[in-house]
Structure 1
């Protein structure tokens, strides 16, 4: 039998970020990952730090702004611990609105758009400029597990949680190898958070479902390059700074299916090429699909899971990369018995009770229909 102060299920960006924060405050942390660390939604994300995306629920603003503010120092910590660079790939985003819907005082003129992004065809879209960064999540996927280990976190991959048994003063977490006795257990398993093995504490059962997103990366030809993120209500174009450009993403309700469909990728490419024609001549470099964890109201679940020693942090939907450092900070405060610096009421895991918890009925079609496209 082993022991820890905290056991975390899930070694994606949320779980490892939280482990890093807890370890920095002197706690002994073990992270259990059913497969490989950073291999699901974290690996599949676009990497936009979209704190000002107009499509984000308004309840996210405070957490989003806090997390975006923490990002430079957070990345510096990861780089120092891991020895790996995680650079910002872009510094600016052009956010599109349907014609006439952008704030008039900040809408860019046609000459301003041409200076920022030559060859852009705005059509019936209006754009504003945002000071908003992006990164390549693959850089984080390489660096964050190393940083967590260097900080003293025990990361165990290919180790599913079989069961948890909470008691008054401890939680016993059963793994394939051995039981682990801890003061706290935190479910950071993303779309897999509702697994019965990770705990059922009515009325606060993990109310999340997987939301599939298909994406593609192209390599631009000749000397063409794009330095600014382009984000529309239907898709986005995210440069990596090295001639690669990532385009996404579908939003699909089809369970845990991660099949990449050529017709969905083709639609993304066509939409992006209409906005910025150089993409029409680019070479497809890679296509993939990931599973975002989505709650019924598209807000995270952050807090206690019906037992004083069991916690959850999941349901970040499109914003897991953006919200990682902020989530780690406030959840760490909760677990350590400190009052969080922001109000977490909108993210209370018990807010759904026993009612309908399907998040996507009003947002996307069923899997048998044409996949929708929207920002990740």
Structure 2
């Protein structure tokens, strides 16, 4: 064996897995067809948020947010970590009730969440439309520049000397104890981990992954215009349709003073083209919440693809399918790859070294699909 582990993918999930295994004394090789922090890592918003669409999603995102808060003091200024908090914005009484229910659910699990009435919301975020009904502030949610952190994990973290990078090298096939590169070279290892998002489907066709396309736009610099990551409370009901195209308001204050505006969701397409009707619909939705938005200067728009599983939870564990038995996967994080990357690494490493996991593993194991079990 040339390494203890070889990881396919140098995005934030692959980088987190590499750093975790290296910290446990393993020799790790990371192979990526492009460079560090590309793909969904580069395309996404870089949010670190606690989400509670299901108990398993809450457990993973809350645990991972704690890991991010512990890691933050080691990161560099260029990694743009900011504990700006999330503000879920309610437009009407129904959404206010949803916010209060969310607050109670979070409080029961030890997550700090503060209800803001109309006046408090207006004082907190004056740029919001004055008819907003209230909001729920999750104070420890954060943002980060994920490609920078991926580079730090792989090249500068305390155990980075045990990580070897093979960039610009495409993996053609994987097996339990090695990968074969496009040039015919075989890289052997005790453990093979596939963590390259949607690209994993080409290596492991049995993985139940679906692409979900999203648009984002970044503005010129408007320091202090908003202070929190802003999300509409209707996001949960409007942006997660099973089919079709949907948009929802999501705005982020970047440390540069720029605003990052999202979001959209499309199915059954892998065309990376920015679609102007979708972008316009997304920005029109955002302007409902931020009336000054149409007067701002947008400088760039782009798209990316989230790799989604059927139940919205990642697949973290060893495969038992006939084609690739013994291969490990860390894929299917959809829009929470940055948030849950550090927890994913902990759960994967615990399985590899046969240690107790920090949170229950069952909801994330690939066998929930291969054995006909779905834990939602």
The Cα shift of 1:116 comes to: 0.4
Answer whether contact 1:303 1:311 (CA < 8 A) is retained.
yes
1:266 to 1:252, Cα distance in 2 relative to 1, 3 A: same
2:63 counterpart residue number: 66
1:96 counterpart residue number: 89
CA deviations over 1:117-159 (Å, ceiling 9, x no partner): 1131164654111112222335435534433694331111121
Counterpart Cα distance in 1 of 2:346 and 2:65? 12
Answer whether contact 2:19 2:154 (CA < 8 A) is retained.
no
2:163 counterpart residue number: 153
1:182 equivalent to 2:183? Answer no
CA deviations over 1:165-221 (Å, ceiling 9, x no partner): 43xxxx1321134211110111101112121xx346xxxx31112111111111255
The Cα shift of 1:92 comes to: 1.9
1:50 counterpart residue number: 49
1:252 to 1:74, Cα distance in 2 relative to 1, 3 A: same
Answer whether contact 1:183 1:309 (CA < 8 A) is retained.
no
Counterpart Cα distance in 2 of 1:292 and 1:340? 26
Q: Specify which structure has the higher proportion of helix.
A: 2
1:239 equivalent to 2:253? Answer yes
RMSD: 2.6
2:230 counterpart residue number: 230
Answer whether contact 1:90 1:240 (CA < 8 A) is retained.
no
Aligned residues: 340
Q: Which 5+ residue runs of structure 1 have no aligned equivalent?
A: 358-376
Q: TM-score scaled by structure 2?
A: 0.83
Counterpart Cα distance in 2 of 1:176 and 1:70? 36
CA deviations over 1:38-57 (Å, ceiling 9, x no partner): 11101111122111x35x33
CA deviations over 1:243-279 (Å, ceiling 9, x no partner): 2000111111133221111222222222222212222
Counterpart Cα distance in 2 of 1:271 and 1:107? 23
Q: Which 5+ residue runs of structure 2 have no aligned equivalent?
A: 104-113, 236-247
Runs of at least 4 residues off by over 6 Å: 354-357
1:1-376 correspondence runs (5 A): 3-51=2-50, 53-54=51-52, 56-77=53-74, 79=75, 85-97=78-90, 98-103=95-100, 107-121=115-129, 123=131, 125-131=133-139, 132-140=141-149, 143-147=152-156, 150-166=160-176, 171-177=177-183, 178-195=185-202, 198-199=203-204, 205-220=206-221, 225-232=225-232, 233=235, 234-306=248-320, 309-353=326-370
Counterpart Cα distance in 2 of 1:72 and 1:32? 28
